[in-house]
Amino acid sequence: MKIHTQPDQLGGVWANAAAVRHSPHEFTIDFLRCEFDDQGKAKAGIMVQRVNMSPLFVTQLITALQENWSKYADKAMPKEIGDVFLSPPVIESDEHNDNHPDEQADDQPDDQPENEPDDQPTSDGA
């Protein structure tokens, strides 16, 4: 397959955190570049890219990431700790749906408040 891109996109973007949301019909991943304080807590950041995708593509992406993580860990991790890291990292989500204005969320009963999203993005620990 031949893929075309704009010259200014060839370098990609750096992300060290991500926020994941979903609606009944799509997933959204916001890739972030965050600054962290001395305790490792995010103190500032910018969104460097937003990607919307279908649930089917999410399952395919998870499979591809798991396969590639396993190959990477086999080669890059020291043997004594490699087994600990062979499982792919878990990407946390903020637990709320980004419903479109014409969609109604069916997650929560009307008499129960929604969970507040986690304010901390998932990071690579940088």
Q: How confident is the model at residue 7 (pLDDT cuts 50, 70, 90)?
A: very high
Examine the domain organization and report whether 41 and 70 are in the same domain.
Answer: no
Q: What is the pTM of this model?
A: 0.60
pLDDT tens for residues 33-69? 999 999 999 899 999 999 999 999 999 999 999 999 8
Range of the domain at 20: 13-53
Tell me how many domains the chain contains.
2
Examine the domain organization and report whether 46 and 61 are in the same domain.
Answer: no
Examine the domain organization and report whether 47 and 34 are in the same domain.
Answer: yes
Integer Cα distance of 17 and 117 in angstroms: 15
Say which DSSP state 25 is in: S
The pLDDT of 103-108, averaged and rounded, is: 44
Report H helices in the chain. Answer: 55-76, 79-85
Integer Cα distance of 54 and 70 in angstroms: 24
Say which DSSP state 101 is in: T
The pLDDT of 2-9, averaged and rounded, is: 92
Asked if residue 64 is part of any domain, the answer here is yes
Integer Cα distance of 68 and 33 in angstroms: 23
**CA 39, 125, 34, 116 torsion: positive or negative?**
negative
For residue 51, list its beta bridge partners: 29
Asked if residue 68 is part of any domain, the answer here is yes
